[in-house]
Amino acid sequence: MANVVVVGAQWGDEGKGKIVDWLSERAHVVVRFQGGHNAGHTLVIDGTTYKLSLLPSGVVRPGRMSIIGNGVVLDPWALLAEIDALRGQGVHVGPDNVRVAENVPLILPLHRNLDAAREKALGNARIGTTGRGIGPAYEDKVARRAIRLGDLADPAVVEAKLDTLLLHHDALLRGMEMPKIDRAAVLSELLEVAPKALPYADTVWKTLDEVRRAGKRILFEGAQGTMLDIDHGTYPFVTSSNTLAGQAAAGSGLGPGALNYVLGITKAYTTRVGSGPFPTELNDETGRLLGERGREFGTVTGRARRCGWFDAVLVRQAVKVNGINGIALTKLDVLDGFPQIRVCTGYRLDGNTLDHLPASSVRQMRVEPIYEVMQGWTDSTRGARSWADLPATAVKYIRRIEEMIEAPVHLLSTSPERDDTIMVHDPFVD
């Protein structure tokens, strides 16, 4: 039985939540391996909407274990609030079905404050972060001054680490002419949250090794998307972690040999939240219509997403750097009724044709898309559950996408509802 990694193949918001939830029926354990509560997943199950930011999407399924790996940065207050919200919707959540790596770094209020202050100082050059402290928390992790979940068990360790942390953060705030951090207040908050968060702490790498050895299926859930990866994305307009499939190993504590299949999620068109390059962006009526039909608003921020045509160059690049075995294509129904549909097949820059998105942010901003025009369809694809339910021109569109991105479509999602999914190949059958 295969273990499956699910990653976004665009700029995030591809519909990973629904796909992970759908696949979790076949899995025993679902693992988040990077990012923080800046990642939003919306699930619609039997007419009920669940909005998740930190917990793995499989948490809404009874009998599944949900794990937050060490590659995540954890806001313990956000975690507890999300747990309370799900309990209010009748979902069972507790230490028996949710485990958090004891070595996960914590996001503190001072990280959120620094995040917001930096974005404000950057003005029009801002990155477009969610302001939730993700970046500053990762900075403290790699600088070896982070407070981790397991540290909360020892107040003396918390105090010592907090002093080291404040030495750095107070210096930053002085440089921005902002008041220093109230040490007593931060310490009080940490000591108060400790007994609430610590019951979820676990030696996750050991738990996952036991699960793997028992032959159980593991589903790894990525956040954001490939083009927001700190190394391979549209830097500097990216998130602060590696969003690629390879991070599933390092971010959970399992070796790469445990990753058997990589499923990339991509919309039938393209969206992006926040600042940064977007070659196929449509600032016209078509772009507005895509956003309206697709209900393109961020789960976490509520911000309207920028919309454009499908970028096969960008997705093909994601296929290569992730080692994607198959694609889950989502929101095909949003394209219903368009007489013509465009697909980006290459970029033009300074008279040259490019078959990839260059690493330079300056060059990324200047590339012009080269389009192939395809015939649209008038019949509805919404709610289709077999290939026979799809218009012939929609199938042709899918087949052409497969050719251009050099990967097969193994799943097709035709609405937000869990069961409106067509499976061509089961990712768990290696």
Active-site residue numbers? 13, 41
Distance CA 53, CA 43 (A): 11
List Cα–Cα distances, 135 to 100, 104, 111, in angstroms. 20, 15, 8
Q: Is the dihedral of CA 199, 203, 207, 208 positive or negative?
A: positive
Neighbouring residues of 84: CB distance < 8 A, sequence distance ≥ 6: none
Distance CA 381, CA 377 (A): 9
Neighbouring residues of 221: CB distance < 8 A, sequence distance ≥ 6: 6, 16, 20, 30, 31, 32, 33, 56, 57, 58
Q: Which secondary structure element, helix H or strand E, spans residue 345, and what is its range?
A: strand 340-349
E strand intervals along 185-313: 201-202, 218-221, 261-267, 270-272, 306-308, 310-311
**Residue 287: helix, strand or coil by DSSP?**
helix
Beta strands 368-375 and 340-349, pairing class: antiparallel
CB 310 within 8 A of CB 409: no
- Closest to 253 measured CA to CA, from 218, 227, 226: 218
- Closest to 107 measured CA to CA, from 66, 79, 68: 79
